[in-house]
Amino acid sequence: MKKRSLSLVGMLMIVALIVAACGSGNNETGGSGVSESGEVTNKKVKLMRTYHAGLEQFKGSDNINSNKLYNLLKEWSGYNINYETLPKDNASQKISVILASGDVPDLMHIPGKSDYFKLAQQGSFEPLDDLVEKYIPNLSSVFSKEQLDAARLDGVLYGLPVRVAQKVGNGVLIHDGVFKELGLKDPTTLDEMYNVLKTIKEQKNIIPLTAAASNPGSFMGAFSPISSMYGVGNTTVEKDGKLAFSWIQPEYKTFLETMNKWFKEGLIDQEFAINKDVKDKMITATAAMSVLYWADAKIIDDAIAGKGGTLNSVRYIDPPVGPNGQSGVPEQSLANSFVVIPKQAKNKEGAADYYNFLLEEKTDTLITFGIENEDYTVEDGKVVQTPEQSNEIPWRTLYFNLDTDTSFNARLGAKGFLPYYNQLLEHKQNREETAYAPFIEAYDTKLTELSNYVAENSIKFIMGNRDLSEFDAFVSEFNAKGGQKAIDEMNEWFTSK
């Protein structure tokens, strides 16, 4: 009896030792660890991000897990962080393999709305609402409720959007030298726009309005401020409490009629459908106006200055207003990538806590500018950083899980783009409602095909290769290709939200 009792005691001691060993090993193996007060005790976090060009920009022996900024992130956060990256190609396939293996990171970037919602539906990600409430208090300073709601599936938050700080991309860019030479005022209405284009054609015999519409997906942006004058500059428009595709509205036909008229009169570049780039035409002043990206504006301006011209030779004008008071440019869409915590992650609380650390102002300053008095200085309470200092640490953006306004503006400022981008911020920005929708298969899987079909036929209508009397037939073709089903399913979300 005594022998049996000792045996039982021995067994209990062994079990106790095993349990203790497992508990003490959590911080070493990555198992979750939280104290009774809710403080995260497991300080190992594995983070997998998408491929970024910054990975190729390290110097010497530095890499993503060993450099002066990483060392401070580790020191300040108290976390032993291990960064891994998805491959440049076939990232979706790699993500599926990782999630199926069970050997998952604690934080993971998912590029693409489709992949995010499909994987969330399959139960691959941890629900985040409780973790956000307990460990990510800084989130409310970055995202609105509506932005977070756009990442919800059946009311549950499974991922945090990779925020895009850029608010606008394109605008109406004019060659200021041409306008000054002809004594032209900035056009503010559709009629004034027409008269300005006509004057440029008659008095200078150059291209009044050029565009590059040959690249896939480029047509819509090439003329968006003009289509916006008719209220159809975005993908969808709201009518009678529902969404409808802009491209099949009577107003879109009116836009095409205007463009067809301008094309026939030589007011639009006759090569717009085959142009891949129009910067040279603006640099040489063989064209007077175009709808271009803020980065292109700087390139054009620098090139003109390099040829002996004035640095401020091009500038953006306010988008002209249409007959019904409509105008503007498309607002930049929400992020199409998400940060998730995989369901099988070993340190979910630590992942959430580290994400919160990345949102702190001190951390954002480090990732944005580097180390004070080494990569930048502070003068009169403002950060001062030369382009050379910024270019010494181009890889710092690898550590962002989202883009802040401070960081975005700093990067643009260091490269000289900010004056051009700031001009665009003054313009009216038209919101695309579908950007806030979850993944809707009938809509999202068909949108590229539908938009390409619209671009192809719009170009034909403008150039006269398809008569505008066939617009109703075009609408029927569009709906038959999946347009009607796509918008019907989108409206199931829109009318119930």
Q: How far apart are CA 48 and CA 110, in angstroms?
A: 9
Architecture of the domain spanning 38-165+335-403 = 3-Layer(aba) Sandwich (3.40)
Neighbours of 289 (CB within 10 A): 26
**CA-CA distance, 283 to 217, in Å (whole number)?**
24
pTM: 0.84
How many Å apart are CA 373 and CA 73, to the nearest integer?
Answer: 18
Q: Do domains 38-165+335-403 and 170-330+420-435 have the same CATH topology?
A: yes
Q: What is the pLDDT of residue 32?
A: 53
pLDDT for the residue 407: 85
Specify the pLDDT at position 243. Answer: 98
Mean pLDDT (10-residue bins), the chain, 497 residues: 41 39 40 74 95 92 97 97 94 94 95 93 97 95 88 94 89 96 97 98 97 92 96 96 98 98 98 97 97 97 92 94 95 85 97 96 93 93 88 92 86 90 94 91 94 97 98 98 98 93
Round to whole Å and give the CA distance between 264 and 227: 18
Sketch the domain layout of the chain as residue ranges.
38-165+335-403, 170-330+420-435
Predicted confidence at residue 36, as pLDDT, reads: 76
DSSP 183-222: TPPPP-BHHHHHHHHHHHHHHH-SEEEE----STT-HHHH
pLDDT at 216: 84
pLDDT attached to residue 16: 40
What CATH code is assigned to 170-330+420-435? 3.40.190.10
| Cβ-based neighbours of 479, under 8 Å, separated by 6 or more | 248
d(CA 461, CA 469): 10
Predicted pLDDT of residue 15: 38
Q: Classify residue 320 by its DSSP letter.
A: P
